[in-house]
């Protein structure tokens, strides 16, 4: 945390009632048609709130959250960064693009160490999400890294391809894998033994987060590192087989696969190799990094831990220094809202279930683990169900609401923030009945929460980090395709004021986005927003200035 004297804010008025921020993850403002799950769901609470005078539509994608272009969908990581930082920083994909374009990525210590491994005869392994979803990774980054490795002398390259189907089309894997296989073939003809070595759907192989289910990482370890599992002649053959065996299967849940030839698995990771996780987003890359790096690792039996040089695309956890080596420097996010609130003795409570707990803590606090000031903050994690989310679309919303209501009623906190994961996690499944239940669950819980805020004489802010449930399918030539990715739709911003405060009005902010929320919270807490924050969305006409 920064020195407190840098973070002290002017108090404009005394505020003794709580400010409660509700992040309805994945609930945007859609087309208000049959494809719009938020519109179709029965949401009397949200419908009423949208007619309130203190409302706005916020941009939650593209340049508004630090992504390269406005063609880029938002995501929970950058959304919570913007919400918690109060301003926009260049984020994952943009940082990687800039580093590749400048050549900085190839001049860094990590890349040079990798080249040394290759000249000593080691193989280079790439593990990551093979798609152009641009949320966790981008396929063009993989191609650029492979090209650079070949130019640097790599003679053996293996790609361990995690299948998306979540930030892109649900059954789009072959559109990425088949060109990648052709590219590998071209490299082999040029003298570099490059092959896809293994893979699997991202939700069952490797990409767990927040320690929700270490068996996912163990499955990836056995597949990528040890070469254990069902074997196929190629990655495309594996995908085609899984599709044929279960027509309802989607990429994100496809079983792991191992590519093998007459001599056995082709992608086993050995001592002396180098490994790059080319995902740039941290939450689903931390656990794999720990499995490679920790000496006293005890989450599962690794059987064999090869002595390799391991690097992430980025530093996935700045506080815990995971991983030890990385290719691109992460954004340096300082002076977050939590820093300011703690320096000004504002007491906070943050809660979500496991799937989004790191978003209201780690990402909210500028990619920093742990508390800013434990004497002023309480963080509560509700364990997520280890089940496909459309089978239990209510998730842990009721339990989150129970604890949030208690926190509000206790009078111990000035600021409460919570995340309902339903709209996003169930939205990713493409299951329409489940999505409607998920949205309706959030609405029911929102009604309970508002009752508690009203009883406490507080102020509620309702918003979202990006869209998802607001578009459940696309339609072309009367054929519907499930839409399981995030949307680029705006998200609601609603203030429900139950305090005795007078003169609360919306400010005239041009093109408001998620970064404007932090200054709004600061102002509602009676503090002057810091100068570097994006403008507040509200003004208080009769407040002392």
Residue spans of the chain under pLDDT 50: 1, 543-545
Angle in degrees, CA 537, 543, 545, rounded to 5:
95
Q: Which residues pair with 21 in a beta bridge?
A: 417, 461
pLDDT at 382: 98
What DSSP string runs through 409-437?
HHT--SEEEEEE-HHHHTGGGT-HHHHHH
State the Cα–Cα distance between residues 374 and 167, nearest whole angstrom.
Answer: 35
19 near 416, Cβ under 8 Å? Answer: yes
State the Cα–Cα distance between residues 57 and 53, nearest whole angstrom.
Answer: 12
Separation of CA 151 from chain center: 33
Peptide bond into 73 cis (omega under 30): no
Active site residue 76: yes
pLDDT at 523: 97
397 near 422, Cβ under 8 Å? Answer: yes
pLDDT at 90: 83
pLDDT at 151: 95
State the Cα–Cα distance between residues 135 and 471, nearest whole angstrom.
Answer: 18
Q: Which of 518, 418, 492 is nearest to 83 (CA)?
A: 518
State the Cα–Cα distance between residues 311 and 326, nearest whole angstrom.
Answer: 5
Tokens of 57: 């539509």
Tokens of 102: 């400048």
Tokens of 473: 């399918």
pLDDT at 5: 66
E strand or H helix at 77: helix 76-85
State the Cα–Cα distance between residues 286 and 300, nearest whole angstrom.
Answer: 15
Domains plus CATH for the chain?
4-90+332-540 (3.40.720.10), 93-328 (3.40.1450.10)
**This prediction's pTM:** 0.76
Query: Per-residue pLDDT tens for 238-272?
Result: 999 999 999 999 999 999 999 999 999 999 999 99
State the Cα–Cα distance between residues 409 and 414, nearest whole angstrom.
Answer: 11
267 near 197, Cβ under 8 Å? Answer: yes
Q: Is 490 left (phi over 0), alpha (psi -120 to 50) or beta?
A: beta
pLDDT at 319: 56
Q: Which residues pair with 27 in a beta bridge?
A: none
Q: Which residues of 494-515 are buried (b: 16+ CB within 10 A; e: fewer)?
A: bbbbbbebeebebeebeebbbb
Of 76, 99, 499, 536, which is the active-site residue?
Answer: 76
């Amino acid at each position: 945390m920064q020195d407190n004297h840098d973070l002290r804010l002017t108090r404009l008025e005394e505020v003794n009632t709580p400010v409660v921020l509700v992040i309805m993850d994945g609930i945007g403002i859609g087309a208000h048609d049959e494809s719009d799950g938020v519109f179709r769901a029965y949401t009397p609470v949200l419908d009423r709130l949208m007619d309130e005078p203190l409302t706005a539509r916020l941009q939650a994608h593209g340049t508004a959250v630090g992504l390269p272009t406005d063609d880029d969908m938002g995501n929970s990581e950058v959304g919570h960064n913007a919400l918690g930082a109060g301003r926009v920083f260049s984020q994952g994909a943009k940082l990687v693009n800039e580093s590749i374009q400048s050549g900085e990525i190839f001049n860094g210590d990590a890349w040079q160490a990798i080249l040394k491994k290759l000249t000593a005869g080691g193989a280079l392994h790439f593990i990551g999400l093979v798609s152009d979803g641009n949320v966790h990774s981008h396929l063009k980054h993989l191609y650029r890294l492979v090209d650079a490795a070949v130019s640097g002398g790599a003679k053996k390259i293996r790609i361990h391809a995690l299948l998306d189907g979540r930030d892109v089309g649900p059954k789009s894997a072959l559109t990425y894998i088949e060109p990648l296989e052709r590219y590998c073939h071209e490299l082999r003809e040029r003298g570099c033994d490059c092959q896809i070595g293994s893979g699997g759907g991202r939700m069952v192989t490797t990409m767990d987060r927040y320690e929700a289910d270490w068996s996912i990482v163990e499955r990836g370890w056995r597949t990528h590192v040890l070469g254990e599992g069902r074997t196929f002649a190629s990655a495309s053959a594996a995908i085609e087989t899984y599709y044929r065996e279960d027509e309802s299967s989607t990429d994100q849940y496809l079983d792991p696969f191992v590519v093998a030839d007459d001599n056995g698995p082709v992608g086993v990771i050995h001592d002396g190799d180098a490994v790059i996780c080319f995902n740039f987003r941290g939450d689903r890359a931390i656990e794999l990094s720990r499995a490679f790096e920790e000496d006293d690792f005890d989450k599962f039996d690794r059987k064999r831990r090869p002595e390799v040089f391991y690097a992430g695309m980025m530093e996935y956890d700045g506080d815990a220094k995971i991983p030890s080596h990385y290719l691109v420097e992460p954004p340096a996010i300082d002076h977050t809202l939590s820093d300011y609130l703690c320096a000004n003795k504002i007491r906070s409570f943050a809660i979500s279930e496991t799937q989004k707990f790191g978003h209201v803590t780690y990402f909210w606090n500028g990619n920093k683990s742990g508390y800013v000031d434990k004497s002023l903050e309480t963080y509560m994690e509700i364990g997520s169900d280890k089940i496909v989310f459309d089978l239990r679309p209510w998730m842990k919303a009721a339990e989150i609401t129970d604890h949030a209501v208690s926190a509000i009623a206790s009078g111990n906190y000035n600021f409460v923030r919570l995340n309902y994961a339903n709209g996003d996690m169930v939205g990713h499944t493409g299951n329409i009945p489940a999505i409607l239940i998920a949205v309706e669950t959030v609405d029911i819980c929102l009604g309970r929460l508002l009752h508690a805020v009203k009883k406490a004489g507080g102020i509620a802010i309702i918003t979202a980090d990006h869209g998802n449930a607001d578009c459940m399918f696309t339609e072309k030539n009367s054929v519907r395709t499930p839409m399981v990715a995030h949307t680029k739709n705006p998200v609601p911003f609603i203030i429900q004021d139950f305090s005795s405060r007078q003169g609360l009005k919306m400010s005239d902010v041009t093109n408001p986005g998620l970064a404007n929320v932090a200054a709004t919270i600061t102002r509602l807490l009676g503090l002057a927003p810091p100068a570097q924050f994006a403008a507040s969305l509200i003004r208080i006409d009769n407040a002392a200035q």
